[in-house]
Chains A and B, each alone.
Chain A
Amino acid sequence: MKLLVWLIPFLLYGSELLSQEIPVLDFQGLEERIREKNEAEVLVVNFWATWCKPCIKELPYFDSLQTSYSPTKVKVLLVSLDMEAKAAAKYYQRKNIQSEVVFLDAVDHNAWIDRISPDWSGAIPATLFINSSGEESFHEGEYSAEALFTQVNQLLNPN
């Protein structure tokens, strides 16, 4: 019985101790990451959250995009807009996501949505593509795997 009492904290918190942390960025940090430190030919920035069903549906397509290309060619950055970083971290670990995941801690949404794109209403999922010369294109709404790969191929091989 005594042993059980000692075990309880580990049973309660053990899984959290094991869970991997993900970086937490404020908006300035995110902006530097995507607009100043873009090392890929195409950077794909996807805004998602674990509670957002269409986001979760398209997330595997983004992850397969990352595993299909070298990170210098295509880099996928999954920006979690969850209420807590923990939710995203757990999901990241449980689904063994290969792409880079960050948590955006910036509750004053109106202050930064337009700085991602003036075309963005604020609904998620939403995706921003940035090529190596800094040109950006924005897409609001869910992607099919085919549409996503087509879009990235077009950005990689512009005619």
Chain B
Amino acid sequence: MKTLSLTTVLTLLIGLGSFTLPPTGYEVGDYATNFNLKNVDGEMVSLSDYEEAKGFIVVFTCNECPYAKLYQDRINQLNKDYAHQGFPVVAINPNDPGRSPADSYENMQARAEEKDYTFPYLMDETQEITREYGATNTPHVYVLAKEAADKFRVAYIGTIDNNYTDAEKADTHYVQDAVDALLNNEEVPLTKTKAIGCGIKWSNA
């Protein structure tokens, strides 16, 4: 506990100099930071746990947001389709449970069980990773291409497909297209998209 608080203090002190402006998040082509966050099963999950991975589909999503709910099955399907090809889904709940009680750790566990999530569903307690990546709304996807053990290039930022109401009616699947391109060593056709979503519930503290 003592070391943790010391680290926090140091980070804050160093941070004072460099964070005069809030970080604006990643652009496509940037390198994403690794993280070590708590999964719904109590274990910590880090990108370096996946030695065989070719990349990741990092999804900032939550329990409460209606868009997140509309996409939860599609996120599960993405993991089923791409984890075995080397692109597993890693979901991160970015919301402060103080502001959004439905997004508490216990409720995340319940949702993961109820929906049979095949991917880790992590809690970003300090919201530092969310801030660093620059996620603004849920669900917000970052497709990362792994270039070396600790080098994760941001290859796509945005939404999952072009019809939130009905997966069947979507005719452009941005995330699938991005991952397929990376798997085939091709250029990602569309590297950035936007979608209406629920804003991140930032802690007031």
Contact = CB atoms under 8 A, between A and B. Distances in A.
Interface residues of A, number: 20
B165 A114 contact: no
Given A109-B159, A114-B194, A123 B165 contact: no
B163 A122 contact: no
Size bin of chain B's contact surface? 10 to 19
Contacts of B137: 121-123
A109 B194 contact: yes
B197 to A, nearest CB: 6
B66 A83 contact: yes
Contact of B163 (A107, A120, A141): A107
Nearest to B25: A121
Contacts, number: 56
- For the residues of B in contact with A, the DSSP-based class is loop
Interface string A120-144: 1111110000000000000001000
B118 interface: no
Given A54-B199, A108-B163, A109-B159, A121 B66 contact: no
A141 B165 contact: no
A125 B174 CA distance: 25
Contacts of B174: 110
29 contacts: A54-B199, A81-B196, A83-B66, A83-B165, A107-B162, A107-B164, A107-B165, A107-B169, A109-B164, A109-B195, A109-B196, A110-B159, A110-B193, A110-B194, A110-B195, A111-B162, A113-B194, A113-B195, A113-B196, A122-B136, A122-B194, A122-B196, A123-B136, A123-B197, A123-B199, A124-B196, A124-B198, A124-B199, A125-B199
Interface of A: 47, 51-52, 54, 81, 83, 107-111, 113-114, 120-125, 141
Interface of B: 66, 136-137, 158-159, 162-165, 169, 174, 193-200
Given A109-B159, A110-B194, A110-B195, 13 more contacts: A51-B66, A107-B169, A108-B162, A108-B163, A109-B195, A110-B158, A111-B162, A113-B196, A121-B137, A121-B194, A122-B194, A122-B195, A122-B196
